[in-house]
A and B are shown apart, each in its own frame.
Chain A
Amino acid sequence: MDILLEFLKTTGFASLSLGNAMMIVIGIIFIGLAITKDYEPLLLVPIGMGIIVGNIPVIQGMSMSVYDDHRWAMEDGNIKYLPGSVLSYVYMGISYGFYPPLIFLGIGAMTDFSTMLSNPKLTLLGAAAQVGVFLTFLGALYLDFTFQEAGAIGIIGGADGPTAIFLASKLAPDLLGAIAIAAYSYMALVPVIQPPIMRLLTTRDERLIRMKPPRKVSKREKMIFPIAAFLICTMIAPGAIVLLGMLFFGNLLKESLVTERLANTARTAFIDIVTILLGFSVGASTQADTFLRPQSLLIFALGALSFAIATAGGVLFAKFMNLFLTEKINPLVGAAGVSAVPDSARVVQMVGQQEDPHNFLLMHAMAPNVAGVIGSAVAAGVLWAVLT
């Protein structure tokens, strides 16, 4: 009987806190949203499962959490190596920041820059949407976050999960879990957050604007672009070398036409493996005692604000550009300046087709969308360089 009682004390039921239970419910909600609503299932299922795994109370003395790192300890006068938990090794990709560049490699191998190359002025919308990053940075400072934390929180407005994780791991490792969850949650909620802002800031006539179909882009243009764009961006913001280097390297693999096997691996199995590891370890890092803090709520609120400002920034800048252009841009396309690829472009298409079912904006929206990826990586590079 004593043995049974001792065993019961070691079970999860005995040491489960209210916080752990809440986080497990959040994990289940994430999985439920992914399955029933189809909100970013490739991200929310691994993150949701990770949250559940990370919040099962562990037995005292057993190293099982993502935070149980390997270390050196002095025992009987000898220095001894103590290995970390399995999850801590998986989590290294986040804490050392090497998953995000690997994800960027896959994104680069998937991305077609043709629409951007065929209509260069749409690139500017990707820059306009980054206003959300910097205004939220100011907002976070106002709420007494440090400069480094404010920078990491602001990048949530870039709507780019890997970039947010990368910058948070460099500037504010303590807030990494909350920032990563906020960034991915808002990416999943793009179809919910963006449409009301887009409708609020545009008239029906503007939403009905039809744009000229993109021109055919030559192979040479596509091959030259990744190298030239990398040089331009990293000469201006060297902090973006890691993310943009991998993004454009992936794109070069795709466009060079001689490394099709590598490009195919990067955009399929490779990115899937890294997504699984990243999603799961981000989820597992959200243990109740480190995640359920007032700071996390503030981060979520600031993230939503950042995302809304970024969307509004893109739409308003498109309207501003229309003041000078003879061939008008549909301002809805500006909302795709946030770099949630391709979700925000899909939302633009959806909102545009609600007004005119024969208006196809998806191709046009992809241009600011991929420009947004570049813009948010440059913004991350700038913040990293200035705030380190």
Chain B
Amino acid sequence: MLTANLILLIAHSGWLWVNTASVLGNTSGRAVAIAVTGMLIVACALLLICVFISLLPRILAAVATIWPEVDEPHASTAHPESLALDDDAVLAAIGFVLHHRLQEQSRISNPNATTTT
């Protein structure tokens, strides 16, 4: 049905005129036919995109009943094991720097105190 409608649309859009005009050597007729057909094709392409975009949320809502969309972005779950390792290393480094700084501060505030580490 869709194909039949498309063929009808093309037949009425001026392509036939393009051929007829070129056979007859009618330059201005051919030019107008190309311009009109070109505009129709561009309009047709963007109209179909418009219709598709309008229908897309409904299609996805139907799909979501079978295959629900996960909110978490793919990128963050691509290699979770590497992220975990990196997090541990970063946490250890932060802990070490924090400990070091606190010790220095306590030494400055209480120069007579002895340190155990």
A interface residues with partner B (beta carbon < 8 Å) = 116-117, 120-121, 123-124, 126-128, 130-131, 133-135, 137-138, 141, 147, 150, 218-221, 224-225, 228-229, 232-233, 236-237, 256-258, 260, 371, 374-375, 378-379, 382-383, 386-387
Given A221-B60, A379-B38, also A127-B69 (CB < 8 A): no
Complex CA gap A150/B44 in Å reads: 23
Least CB separation from A256: chain B residue:
B74
Q: Enumerate B31-71 residues with CB–CB distance to A below 8 Å.
A: 31-32, 34-39, 41-54, 56-57, 60, 63, 69
Given A117-B56, A137-B34, A220-B60, also A382-B41 (CB < 8 A): yes
Given A137-B31, A141-B31, also A378-B53 (CB < 8 A): no
Complex CA gap A116/B54 in Å reads: 10
* CB-contact partner of B47 in A127, A134, A258, under 8 A: A127
Complex CA gap A18/B45 in Å reads: 48
Residues on A with beta carbons closer than 8 Å to the beta carbon of B73? 219, 257
Given A134-B39, A229-B52, A378-B41, also A386-B46 (CB < 8 A): no
Instruction: Give the shortest distance, in Å, between A7 (CB) and chain B (any CB).
Output: 55
Beta-carbon contact of B75 and A258 below 8 Å: yes
4 A-B pairs besides A134-B38, A147-B34 with CB distance below 8 A are A134-B39, A221-B60, A237-B42, A387-B34
Given A374-B45, A379-B42, also A120-B35 (CB < 8 A): no
Most buried by A among B28, B45, B51, B54: B45
Asked whether B85 is an interface residue with its Cβ less than 8 Å from the other chain, the reply is no
Asked whether B113 is an interface residue with its Cβ less than 8 Å from the other chain, the reply is no
Complex CA gap A127/B60 in Å reads: 26
Asked whether B24 is an interface residue with its Cβ less than 8 Å from the other chain, the reply is no
Instruction: Give the shortest distance, in Å, between A227 (CB) and chain B (any CB).
Output: 11
Residues on A with beta carbons closer than 8 Å to the beta carbon of B52? 228-229, 232
Given A120-B53, A127-B46, A229-B49, also A258-B78 (CB < 8 A): yes
Complex CA gap A224/B49 in Å reads: 12
Complex CA gap A236/B44 in Å reads: 8
Least CB separation from A237: chain B residue:
B41
Residues on B with beta carbons closer than 8 Å to the beta carbon of A134? 34-36, 38-39
Least CB separation from B28: chain A residue:
A141
Residues on B with beta carbons closer than 8 Å to the beta carbon of A150? 31
Residues on A with beta carbons closer than 8 Å to the beta carbon of B46? 123-124, 126-127, 371, 374-375, 378
Instruction: Give the shortest distance, in Å, between A188 (CB) and chain B (any CB).
Output: 25
Instruction: Give the shortest distance, in Å, between B11 (CB) and chain A (any CB).
Output: 15
Given A123-B49, A258-B75, also A138-B35 (CB < 8 A): yes
Beta-carbon contact of A131 and B45 below 8 Å: no
7 A-B pairs whose Cβ atoms sit less than 8 Å apart in the complex: A126-B46, A134-B38, A137-B34, A138-B35, A220-B63, A232-B48, A379-B42
* CB-contact partner of B53 in A123, A257, A386, under 8 A: A123
Complex CA gap A13/B53 in Å reads: 61
